[in-house]
Structure 1
């Protein structure tokens, strides 16, 4: 059965348009409540959100839906997505719910779920919820309606959890800049680093409901670069709107992406003898990372794009560390999902333990130039990718690159596009091969 509402990370869309309407959110809460509650007396869910203005509306609608299904709701208020995952486990709830559209602008919103183990739902459970969404809403008896209450110490619990992943050392004497993207971490993020002893300059911590991810956070690093250079900080940390991603800039203002963060954490885990299983990246992970891991004797595997697929491969392979260039890093020895604050703390722990700067920790990694061209298509992307002319162009590109690089053509999961990606050890060669492949796709795109 194909999905009608759930995408790769819950339900998401523009506020006021299907499916992100208050009517749908109420029905989604009821359907999810039926699945999670399963008739259990006292069944409850925890609900957190980011700082979008529409979060109030969806929080109320979901709460009503859960109540109608006879499920209790614990309201956490603004809290990072991984904080909701943690508290789902800590409070022994049947599920966790996050109202967020992650790194998207304020006019988008979404709803995603965690199971009682703090991990994302299986396909089977999501499909079960979808089947109920289209069923008539049947409210439980009045004396069985669910209630709601606020969890006042949610932020404090999560702050302590994050600090606990850092270890016994502290951050005294470290000067850093933190960009909270005017999002869910605007309070807890600064507290984590300050309570560990860092000297923190905070930006992107004045949300107004409309400025989440606006010219700030992990999708817009210019403000962070400027603040690091202006303050003389050792590094800068950029979170996204729901703080499950983390990117950095070094002391020179140079950007540090998720591939580089993964490399720093992996080599530190290896040096400590703590690295277990392969490191998992995606099809889009830079070839330079793969080569650098090979030089260290670290096994590396590629999953499909998306943290969901990274998690699946980690679980299947017995790995503990994986991530994407976008900054979604999963440290399964510390938590159950991608966590921007925990990822940043793992990098800082590595720097502290080895007494090195970020550039020094990255000296063994050379990223390859990468060119990505998005080609709009009218026909079905899978049909275009199977055409002989496109296959021949890929074969020619691979012969041209040899061991110097790689090519990847894939259909977008959200738009009518084919993404043409080429990496090689020379920028001019990379650009030329990418443009040649894009032309081959355009020639058959109708």
Structure 2
């Protein structure tokens, strides 16, 4: 009998405990379900103004109007006449080099080539006058004999005198080409001789930079010249950037460009498209088209081979209604934006126009000054979520507010 009572008591306790746990679970579920979901809207007004469409491309600086100062001399630098940043003129002495035996040999050979080229030009000039006189004499003989006697073109005398004149004229024309060739050879020999000279002079007028020699420093060259400095001349840098297949059709010569460098903080430069190579190059299955950009201004901070990012302005539309591109969404193939009207979230059908990197033109559906929702943050008391999707939990309504969908205005 006592055992039977104990069993009944234990059974009763289990029932009580079970009911208590069930009540606690129901309480937790009710509290969780009734927790208020509070939305926070990030908004921005629809504005009216210019919409600037751009194409972004990256590339490098290919020219900064620098001319290298080079030398083929061998020996030791004895004097440096200039310092970094000096203004120099073409032909000004920059450095003096004491030549070693190899340097003296190079200089002598270069001088011999220069003298030979000079003599060749003198000979070509002398031959010019000789052949000019011969051509004139042959022409006069032909005119005063065969032509004046009205000989037929098949007459042996006519044929002989005419051919002699034509041959003399051909020789005279050929010697003119020989003079041009001799002049080019003389210029080349003069440059080579100057390169091998003990005195290094400036090849152009401008600002001397990148001096790499000091007194006492040895210079050793073999067949190639050594760059010892550079001259920055007047002019602006040039960059090339790669355009994708999608963007190349949007870019045209003359379009304005803004340019930025990672290595030059807080500086923006402007320029224009000089030309586009539409033949394209293929690398790893990707086709790119090279566009050349001329800068509007220069800066000492812009150096050759620097990386640059270009924003090419492809279109500008004035007086358009525009919103942040993050506010534009798609529902069932229809473009929509979310507006706040009297505190209530409203979906509005819109017709889109052009777009830039950050903004989108609204052709219809939104007016200037309308409050547009760009994103929504939902706070449930214990955590928050941020959503820019039209399906991000908005359809059940927030705090009883719900939403309304309207057509474009």
Same structural fold, with TM-score higher than 0.5 when normalized by the shorter chain: no
User: Which bracket does the TM-score occupy, shorter chain normalised?
Assistant: under 0.3
Higher helix share: 1
Greater per-residue strand proportion: 2
> Taking CA–CA contacts closer than 8 Å with sequence separation of 6 or more, which of the two structures ends up with the larger relative contact order?
2
TM-score of the superposed pair, with normalisation by structure 2: 0.19
Instruction: Kindly name which structure, 1 or 2, has the bigger radius of gyration based on alpha carbons.
Output: 2
